[in-house]
Amino acid sequence: MPDSSDPKPDLLPPSAIRRPIRWWPAVIILLLHTSAVIWVRSYYGRSRQDQNIAIAEIAIIAGLLLLVWVLFFSRLNWRIRLISLGAVVVVIILLPLLFRIHGVTGDLVPILEWRWQHRTLASPHGNRTATATAPPILLTNDYPQFLGPNRNGTLDHPRLARDWKAEPPTRLWIQAVGTAWSGFAVVGHRAVTQEQRGEEEAVICYDLLSGAVLWSYAYPAHYQSSLAGEGPRATPTVAGDRVYALGSTGILNCLLVESGRLLWSKDILQDNQAQAGEWGISCSPLAKESLRATRHTQQSRGRARA
Protein backbone atom coordinates (compact mmCIF):
# COMPACT_ATOMS: atom_id res chain seq x y z
CA MET A 1 0.00 0.00 0.00
CA PRO A 2 1.38 3.45 -0.84
CA ASP A 3 2.15 5.71 2.05
CA SER A 4 -0.75 8.12 2.43
CA SER A 5 1.65 10.65 3.88
CA ASP A 6 3.49 11.05 0.50
CA PRO A 7 2.46 14.27 -1.22
CA LYS A 8 0.61 13.82 -4.44
CA PRO A 9 2.27 15.20 -7.58
CA ASP A 10 -0.48 17.71 -8.09
CA LEU A 11 0.03 19.01 -4.56
CA LEU A 12 3.80 19.67 -5.00
CA PRO A 13 4.90 23.30 -5.25
CA PRO A 14 5.75 24.47 -8.83
CA SER A 15 9.44 24.82 -7.95
CA ALA A 16 9.62 21.12 -6.98
CA ILE A 17 8.31 19.92 -10.34
CA ARG A 18 11.26 19.15 -12.64
CA ARG A 19 10.49 20.28 -16.14
CA PRO A 20 11.95 18.39 -19.12
CA ILE A 21 15.13 19.63 -20.74
CA ARG A 22 14.45 22.08 -23.56
CA TRP A 23 16.45 20.61 -26.47
CA TRP A 24 14.91 22.37 -29.43
CA PRO A 25 17.02 25.58 -29.22
CA ALA A 26 20.25 23.54 -29.34
CA VAL A 27 18.94 21.53 -32.30
CA ILE A 28 18.07 24.73 -34.16
CA ILE A 29 21.51 26.25 -33.43
CA LEU A 30 23.29 23.14 -34.73
CA LEU A 31 21.08 22.95 -37.84
CA LEU A 32 21.72 26.63 -38.61
CA HIS A 33 25.45 26.14 -38.05
CA THR A 34 25.56 23.16 -40.42
CA SER A 35 23.48 24.93 -43.05
CA ALA A 36 25.68 28.05 -42.85
CA VAL A 37 28.86 25.99 -43.28
CA ILE A 38 27.41 24.20 -46.32
CA TRP A 39 26.36 27.52 -47.85
CA VAL A 40 29.80 29.05 -47.25
CA ARG A 41 31.58 26.08 -48.84
CA SER A 42 29.23 26.18 -51.83
CA TYR A 43 28.69 29.86 -52.57
CA TYR A 44 30.60 32.27 -50.33
CA GLY A 45 33.87 34.06 -51.05
CA ARG A 46 36.32 34.12 -53.88
CA SER A 47 38.89 31.86 -52.21
CA ARG A 48 39.16 29.10 -49.64
CA GLN A 49 40.79 31.62 -47.30
CA ASP A 50 37.59 33.71 -47.25
CA GLN A 51 35.57 30.56 -46.62
CA ASN A 52 37.75 29.42 -43.73
CA ILE A 53 37.52 32.83 -42.05
CA ALA A 54 33.72 32.80 -42.41
CA ILE A 55 33.46 29.24 -41.05
CA ALA A 56 35.59 30.19 -38.03
CA GLU A 57 33.27 33.12 -37.31
CA ILE A 58 30.21 30.88 -37.66
CA ALA A 59 31.71 28.33 -35.26
CA ILE A 60 32.44 31.01 -32.65
CA ILE A 61 28.89 32.40 -32.88
CA ALA A 62 27.38 28.92 -32.66
CA GLY A 63 29.52 28.10 -29.64
CA LEU A 64 28.45 31.28 -27.83
CA LEU A 65 24.77 30.59 -28.60
CA LEU A 66 25.09 27.03 -27.26
CA LEU A 67 26.69 28.36 -24.09
CA VAL A 68 23.81 30.84 -23.64
CA TRP A 69 21.37 27.99 -24.21
CA VAL A 70 23.03 25.80 -21.58
CA LEU A 71 23.10 28.58 -18.97
CA PHE A 72 19.68 30.16 -19.42
CA PHE A 73 17.33 28.17 -21.64
CA SER A 74 18.21 24.46 -21.35
CA ARG A 75 16.47 23.73 -18.00
CA LEU A 76 19.47 21.62 -17.04
CA ASN A 77 20.35 21.23 -13.40
CA TRP A 78 22.20 24.33 -12.20
CA ARG A 79 25.13 22.21 -11.13
CA ILE A 80 25.51 20.94 -14.69
CA ARG A 81 25.24 24.49 -16.02
CA LEU A 82 28.00 25.75 -13.74
CA ILE A 83 30.22 22.78 -14.57
CA SER A 84 29.71 23.50 -18.30
CA LEU A 85 30.60 27.16 -17.80
CA GLY A 86 33.69 26.21 -15.79
CA ALA A 87 34.80 23.76 -18.48
CA VAL A 88 34.54 26.45 -21.16
CA VAL A 89 36.55 28.89 -19.03
CA VAL A 90 39.22 26.25 -18.34
CA VAL A 91 39.54 25.42 -22.05
CA ILE A 92 39.84 29.12 -22.95
CA ILE A 93 42.61 29.54 -20.36
CA LEU A 94 44.49 26.31 -21.15
CA LEU A 95 44.56 26.63 -24.94
CA PRO A 96 46.95 29.63 -25.07
CA LEU A 97 48.98 28.15 -22.20
CA LEU A 98 49.46 24.78 -23.92
CA PHE A 99 49.57 25.76 -27.58
CA ARG A 100 50.97 28.51 -29.76
CA ILE A 101 50.18 29.41 -33.34
CA HIS A 102 53.19 28.89 -35.58
CA GLY A 103 51.87 30.65 -38.64
CA VAL A 104 49.05 29.51 -40.89
CA THR A 105 48.66 27.34 -43.96
CA GLY A 106 48.01 28.78 -47.38
CA ASP A 107 44.28 28.46 -46.61
CA LEU A 108 44.68 30.50 -43.38
CA VAL A 109 44.25 27.45 -41.13
CA PRO A 110 46.34 28.00 -37.95
CA ILE A 111 49.32 25.70 -37.42
CA LEU A 112 49.32 24.73 -33.73
CA GLU A 113 52.29 23.41 -31.78
CA TRP A 114 53.02 22.76 -28.11
CA ARG A 115 54.34 25.72 -26.13
CA TRP A 116 57.32 23.70 -24.93
CA GLN A 117 58.18 22.35 -28.38
CA HIS A 118 61.58 23.57 -29.54
CA ARG A 119 62.06 24.02 -33.26
CA THR A 120 65.53 23.04 -34.39
CA LEU A 121 66.50 24.63 -37.67
CA ALA A 122 69.63 23.69 -39.50
CA SER A 123 72.36 26.30 -39.52
CA PRO A 124 74.23 27.13 -42.72
CA HIS A 125 77.45 27.29 -40.64
CA GLY A 126 78.42 30.65 -42.06
CA ASN A 127 78.88 31.46 -45.71
CA ARG A 128 80.34 28.77 -47.86
CA THR A 129 81.03 28.03 -51.49
CA ALA A 130 81.28 24.69 -53.25
CA THR A 131 82.67 24.07 -56.69
CA ALA A 132 80.28 22.07 -58.82
CA THR A 133 80.93 20.51 -62.18
CA ALA A 134 78.54 21.79 -64.82
CA PRO A 135 75.99 19.09 -65.64
CA PRO A 136 76.28 17.42 -69.03
CA ILE A 137 72.61 18.24 -69.78
CA LEU A 138 71.98 21.57 -71.50
CA LEU A 139 69.31 23.41 -69.51
CA THR A 140 67.51 26.16 -71.38
CA ASN A 141 64.29 26.80 -69.43
CA ASP A 142 65.37 29.54 -67.04
CA TYR A 143 63.02 30.84 -64.36
CA PRO A 144 65.09 33.79 -63.12
CA GLN A 145 62.49 35.71 -61.10
CA PHE A 146 59.09 35.64 -59.42
CA LEU A 147 56.40 34.32 -61.81
CA GLY A 148 58.94 33.35 -64.43
CA PRO A 149 60.97 35.03 -67.19
CA ASN A 150 58.24 37.53 -68.05
CA ARG A 151 56.62 37.81 -64.58
CA ASN A 152 53.35 36.45 -65.93
CA GLY A 153 53.40 32.88 -64.54
CA THR A 154 53.79 31.40 -68.04
CA LEU A 155 56.36 29.08 -69.60
CA ASP A 156 56.25 28.05 -73.23
CA HIS A 157 58.11 24.80 -72.57
CA PRO A 158 58.34 22.06 -71.48
CA ARG A 159 55.01 20.41 -72.15
CA LEU A 160 53.92 18.52 -69.05
CA ALA A 161 51.95 15.28 -68.99
CA ARG A 162 48.29 15.88 -68.21
CA ASP A 163 47.71 12.58 -66.40
CA TRP A 164 50.30 12.15 -63.65
CA LYS A 165 48.72 8.85 -62.58
CA ALA A 166 49.44 7.34 -65.98
CA GLU A 167 52.73 9.21 -66.44
CA PRO A 168 54.02 10.08 -62.97
CA PRO A 169 57.00 12.44 -62.72
CA THR A 170 60.30 11.00 -61.54
CA ARG A 171 61.84 12.53 -58.43
CA LEU A 172 65.49 13.38 -59.02
CA TRP A 173 66.40 14.24 -55.42
CA ILE A 174 65.06 15.37 -52.07
CA GLN A 175 66.71 17.95 -49.81
CA ALA A 176 65.86 19.21 -46.31
CA VAL A 177 65.59 23.01 -46.26
CA GLY A 178 65.00 25.71 -43.69
CA THR A 179 61.69 27.40 -42.98
CA ALA A 180 60.66 29.86 -45.70
CA TRP A 181 57.98 31.00 -48.12
CA SER A 182 60.38 31.87 -50.92
CA GLY A 183 60.24 30.28 -54.35
CA PHE A 184 63.20 29.41 -56.56
CA ALA A 185 64.93 31.49 -59.19
CA VAL A 186 66.47 29.07 -61.69
CA VAL A 187 69.22 29.91 -64.19
CA GLY A 188 71.06 27.08 -65.91
CA HIS A 189 71.78 24.39 -63.33
CA ARG A 190 71.55 26.81 -60.39
CA ALA A 191 68.41 27.17 -58.26
CA VAL A 192 68.53 30.04 -55.76
CA THR A 193 66.14 30.54 -52.84
CA GLN A 194 65.98 31.96 -49.31
CA GLU A 195 65.62 30.06 -46.04
CA GLN A 196 65.54 30.61 -42.29
CA ARG A 197 68.43 28.77 -40.67
CA GLY A 198 68.35 29.20 -36.91
CA GLU A 199 68.62 32.92 -36.19
CA GLU A 200 69.96 33.69 -39.65
CA GLU A 201 68.36 34.25 -43.01
CA ALA A 202 70.26 32.56 -45.80
CA VAL A 203 70.42 32.90 -49.57
CA ILE A 204 71.22 29.41 -50.81
CA CYS A 205 72.05 28.07 -54.26
CA TYR A 206 71.32 24.42 -55.06
CA ASP A 207 72.42 22.33 -57.99
CA LEU A 208 69.27 21.75 -60.02
CA LEU A 209 70.03 18.15 -60.96
CA SER A 210 71.58 16.83 -57.73
CA GLY A 211 70.23 19.03 -54.91
CA ALA A 212 73.75 19.73 -53.67
CA VAL A 213 74.37 23.11 -52.04
CA LEU A 214 76.65 25.08 -54.33
CA TRP A 215 76.94 28.12 -52.07
CA SER A 216 75.17 29.91 -49.22
CA TYR A 217 75.24 33.39 -47.79
CA ALA A 218 73.79 33.95 -44.30
CA TYR A 219 73.26 37.02 -42.13
CA PRO A 220 71.56 37.67 -38.74
CA ALA A 221 67.80 38.19 -39.29
CA HIS A 222 64.69 36.41 -38.07
CA TYR A 223 61.08 37.35 -38.85
CA GLN A 224 58.09 35.57 -37.33
CA SER A 225 54.47 36.40 -36.53
CA SER A 226 51.45 34.31 -35.55
CA LEU A 227 49.60 35.08 -38.76
CA ALA A 228 52.41 35.33 -41.31
CA GLY A 229 54.59 32.50 -40.03
CA GLU A 230 58.37 32.34 -40.04
CA GLY A 231 61.17 32.97 -42.46
CA PRO A 232 61.92 34.93 -45.62
CA ARG A 233 59.16 35.04 -48.21
CA ALA A 234 60.43 36.76 -51.37
CA THR A 235 61.72 34.88 -54.40
CA PRO A 236 65.22 36.04 -55.41
CA THR A 237 65.84 37.63 -58.80
CA VAL A 238 68.73 36.66 -61.08
CA ALA A 239 69.75 39.32 -63.60
CA GLY A 240 72.94 38.88 -65.56
CA ASP A 241 75.63 37.51 -63.26
CA ARG A 242 73.96 38.77 -60.07
CA VAL A 243 71.38 37.57 -57.56
CA TYR A 244 69.16 40.10 -55.77
CA ALA A 245 67.54 38.70 -52.62
CA LEU A 246 65.25 40.68 -50.29
CA GLY A 247 64.84 39.27 -46.79
CA SER A 248 61.69 39.48 -44.68
CA THR A 249 63.22 42.16 -42.41
CA GLY A 250 64.14 44.45 -45.31
CA ILE A 251 67.75 43.43 -45.98
CA LEU A 252 68.45 43.59 -49.72
CA ASN A 253 71.54 41.63 -50.78
CA CYS A 254 73.30 41.55 -54.14
CA LEU A 255 75.52 38.50 -54.75
CA LEU A 256 77.38 36.88 -57.61
CA VAL A 257 75.34 34.01 -58.98
CA GLU A 258 78.44 31.87 -59.64
CA SER A 259 79.96 32.02 -56.17
CA GLY A 260 77.52 33.71 -53.79
CA ARG A 261 80.05 36.43 -52.97
CA LEU A 262 78.37 39.50 -51.48
CA LEU A 263 78.72 42.63 -53.62
CA TRP A 264 76.60 44.98 -51.51
CA SER A 265 73.80 44.99 -48.94
CA LYS A 266 71.12 47.57 -48.03
CA ASP A 267 68.52 47.85 -45.28
CA ILE A 268 65.65 49.30 -47.31
CA LEU A 269 63.42 49.84 -44.25
CA GLN A 270 66.06 51.81 -42.39
CA ASP A 271 67.01 53.81 -45.49
CA ASN A 272 63.37 54.78 -46.08
CA GLN A 273 62.40 55.12 -42.38
CA ALA A 274 59.68 52.53 -42.91
CA GLN A 275 58.30 49.55 -40.99
CA ALA A 276 57.41 46.05 -42.08
CA GLY A 277 53.75 45.04 -42.12
CA GLU A 278 52.13 41.92 -40.68
CA TRP A 279 53.50 39.74 -43.48
CA GLY A 280 57.03 41.15 -43.37
CA ILE A 281 58.79 42.25 -46.53
CA SER A 282 57.43 39.94 -49.21
CA CYS A 283 58.15 41.62 -52.55
CA SER A 284 60.64 40.14 -55.00
CA PRO A 285 63.22 42.54 -56.49
CA LEU A 286 62.66 43.80 -60.03
CA ALA A 287 66.02 44.39 -61.73
CA LYS A 288 66.47 46.62 -64.78
CA GLU A 289 67.92 43.73 -66.76
CA SER A 290 64.85 41.59 -66.00
CA LEU A 291 62.46 44.44 -66.81
CA ARG A 292 64.27 45.10 -70.10
CA ALA A 293 64.12 41.41 -71.05
CA THR A 294 60.43 41.24 -70.20
CA ARG A 295 59.61 44.28 -72.34
CA HIS A 296 61.68 42.89 -75.23
CA THR A 297 59.79 39.59 -75.09
CA GLN A 298 56.42 41.34 -74.96
CA GLN A 299 57.36 43.56 -77.93
CA SER A 300 58.55 40.54 -79.93
CA ARG A 301 55.29 38.71 -79.28
CA GLY A 302 53.32 41.83 -80.24
CA ARG A 303 55.19 42.09 -83.57
CA ALA A 304 54.66 38.36 -84.17
CA ARG A 305 50.90 38.69 -83.65
CA ALA A 306 50.79 41.74 -85.94
pLDDT, one tens digit per residue, over 242-276 is 999 999 999 999 999 999 999 999 999 999 988 88
Question: For the whole prediction, is pTM greater than 0.75?
Answer: no
**Number of C-beta neighbours around residue 135 at 10 A:** 13
What is the rounded average pLDDT for all residues in the chain?
Answer: 84
Nearest to 221 by CA among 280, 165, 297, 173: 280
At position 264, the amino acid (one-letter code) is W
User: CA 35, 41, 42, 43 torsion: positive or negative?
Assistant: positive
Confidence grade of residue 140 (pLDDT, cut at 50, 70, 90): low
Contacts of 253 (CB under 8 A, 6+ apart): 203, 217, 219, 243, 244, 245, 246, 247, 262, 264, 265
- Residue pair 262/231 in contact (Cβ under 8 Å)? The answer is no
CA dihedral 292, 293, 294, 298 (to 10 degrees): 100
* pLDDT for the residue 244: 97
Q: CA neighbours within 13 Å on the CB side: how many for 145?
A: 23
